[in-house]
Amino acid sequence: MSNLVIPDFSAFDGTGQRSFPYRVEHINMFQLTAHFPAIADWEDTRLKPRLQDRMFDDLTRLLRTAEFFRENRLKPTRGDDYIAVEFEDDIYDFRLYCYQNRITVVKNGIQLKTFHHWYHAAVPGFNHVFTSLLSLMGQELKRTQSITRVGYGFDFIAYDFVDGPTRLRNYQVIKKLITQVPAATGVIEPMTEGAQNVSRANYLVNCWDGDTSSTKRQLTYSVEAPSNRDFAGLWFNFGYGNETYSDPESGRREWIDPQCLLDEYNQAYHFMWERAVGGFMKSLISQLSFKTTPAYIP
């Protein structure tokens, strides 16, 4: 009998299948990253194999807990600056990387409904995996290795925007956010229909959320409008994480415990669903027809 508790996707936001988030059919990528003080002797060949073995063992347990199973699909890999273990699966695939200064989980794009299941089955277990790896680093390096920053990243690509009978280019959509661009002279002028001279328009805002140092979180809203495929798509990136907070008036700095963010996977998911997709994306493109993709724009 299954021990997993997965929230009901079809009623997740309380409004059912007709709400805007369900029109976003795919997530393009997910990342969960924990930073730590850089390991000066990262090239030490004794450390990397032990870390990779620990990664493999921890992910084997995670696959069983998440009920993905197929432990034989785990594959150790490495590059010039990282070690990794990949779970090669046609549905629940992901990769765990360890670099000199960070550990990162990457999930490739997939249908949002499937991602919903993967996220709630797998992500709770990564707290143990990250803590286990940092503990081993501390033992091997003879010093305390602690997490300094944690961030969740949710990426989406929407493209082929249509307003009634009219196909829109991405800069016509992003004009809600970016109203002016440099003209040929460099002078800032209103964005016009002839904005093809702009090869990319990026919008990025970081917001503080929460009232106290223990609850304060940094939320990121980012959208890019590149010129490829005749300005067809918008790249959305949403982040939930922590930074040391500095009060703009007093200048006093408040420390935000990064470790606790690994336990806040539900809060991060609610941010993605309700604020990022159900708020930001909805207010920008809900009046349009569009497509989403888990990989590249066809």
Reference 237, options 18, 45, 30, 68; nearest CA is: 30
The CB-based long-range contact list for 212-221 (8 Å cut-off, 24+ gap) reads 213/245, 213/254, 213/255, 213/256, 214/256, 214/257, 216/242, 216/245, 216/254, 216/256, 217/241, 217/242, 217/256, 217/261, 217/267, 218/242, 218/243, 219/271, 219/275, 221/276, 221/280
Q: What is the pLDDT of residues 192-230, one digit of tens each?
A: 755 567 788 899 999 989 877 678 899 999 999 998 888
Q: Which residues of 159-183 are buried (b: 16+ CB within 10 A; e: fewer)?
A: bbbeeeeeebbbbbbbbebbeebee
State the alpha helices, DSSP H only, in the chain.
47-65, 112-122, 126-141, 170-173, 228-231, 265-270, 282-285
pLDDT of residue 1: 47
State the alpha helices, DSSP H only, in 38-111.
47-65
Cα separation, 69 vs 57, in Å, equals 13
Fill in the amino acid letter for 212.
T
Q: Token pair of 163, please?
A: 């307003």
Cα separation, 47 vs 99, in Å, equals 12
Q: What is the pLDDT of residues 92-127, one digit of tens each?
A: 999 999 999 999 999 999 999 999 999 999 999 999
pLDDT of residue 2: 63
Contact of 149 with 243, CB cutoff 8 Å? yes
Reference 233, options 180, 155, 181; nearest CA is: 155
Q: Which residues of 41-60 are buried (b: 16+ CB within 10 A; e: fewer)?
A: eeeeeebbeebbebbeebbe
Fill in the amino acid letter for 286.
S
**Regions of the chain where pLDDT drops below 70:** 1-2, 11-18, 193-196, 213, 245
Domain residue spans of the chain? 37-146, 156-292
Place of tokens 């959509």: 173
Reference 163, options 282, 287, 256; nearest CA is: 287
